[in-house]
Structure 1
């Protein structure tokens, strides 16, 4: 029996990407796409309803990841003067107001992901974050690679959570 082709061994970005400076952002985009894919097919009610016993909704997870992107890339890496948390703090990230359209939650997430991509595009992984936002002036800030790796693990963990939620909602499983 022949071993599977390299493309079949790995999920994610193309097997031809070897440079870590290209691989890490490519995997983040793959995770962002996976988030979308795992929410596809859910009616609005299921997107918005907290999944028991987890206590959060799939749409709440999307909203949370938008804030995570903002905190680490805009407020963190770029030191932009933006609110890092919604009114009500971190817990409010997980609650989507009933009057906030699903499309707007996705649009906000997309804006944050796009901003993060733009801030890291073409930069080496050893590029230090700016100070004055998340990272205090006078202290050594983390480098881009460390921040992107943190985002990578956030997505990996939460995509796994979403797998569990989706299985509880309608039995869907998969990559």
Structure 2
């Protein structure tokens, strides 16, 4: 009887190695980083998710909340010019801090709501479509393309998921891809 082949680890993260179409690459990597965020939170207790990590000064859940605001600012307020609150009233401190009366489930649900809204806008547009005027961008000269905005989101996620790597190592010594 022939043995099944052993699973070969992926050589690259993100979309499949044969993907070359720019839209598919952008969206594949954006999804990969969103999933990486979730993977890196796996196994943390509610207290570990909510407690600011020293010397960083923010909690893993605060990072999730921040990324929800980033998605909202760049896509809903920026690209789609939706009439949404783009920044919490308390500024950066409130964006990164989880209120005591806000549950972990509420933060994660708010983040998923932003991701769902962003995905709907992306689905209905091409990479070359320019941001609508009236939200973040007031003139056509300021309005970037969807491709430019997605590229910005990718760098935000890459940077912040890297930050989360550091936080996770400080919290419990876990490094690399958790949950594999």
TM-score by length of structure 1 reads: 0.93
Question: Which residues in structure 2 correspond to 1:150-169 (within 5 Å)?
Answer: 150-169=152-171
Choose which of 52, 68, 77 in structure 2 pairs with 1:75: 77
Choose which of 83, 103, 106 in structure 2 pairs with 1:104: 106
Q: Number of aligned residue pairs: give it.
A: 170
Deviations 1:16-49 (A, max 9, x none): 3210111101111111111011001000000000
Let me know the Cα RMSD of the aligned residues.
1.4
Uncovered stretches (5+) of structure 2, i.e. residues with no partner: 1-7
Q: Which has the higher mean CA deviation after the structures are superposed, 7-16 or 87-96? A: 7-16
Question: Which residues in structure 2 correspond to 1:37-76 (within 5 Å)?
Answer: 37-76=39-78
Give the structure 2 partner of residue 84 of structure 1.
86
Uncovered stretches (5+) of structure 1, i.e. residues with no partner: 1-5
Give the structure 2 partner of residue 3 of structure 1.
none
Q: Distance in 2 between matches of 1:34 and 1:140?
A: 31
Choose which of 25, 34, 37 in structure 1 pairs with 2:36: 34
CA contact (8 A) 2:13 2:32 kept: no
Q: Distance in 1 between matches of 2:23 and 2:15?
A: 13
Q: Distance in 1 between matches of 2:31 and 2:130?
A: 21
Q: Distance in 1 between matches of 2:63 and 2:165?
A: 12
Measured after TM superposition, the shift of residue 137 of structure 1 is 3.6
Q: Distance in 2 between matches of 1:24 and 1:138?
A: 23
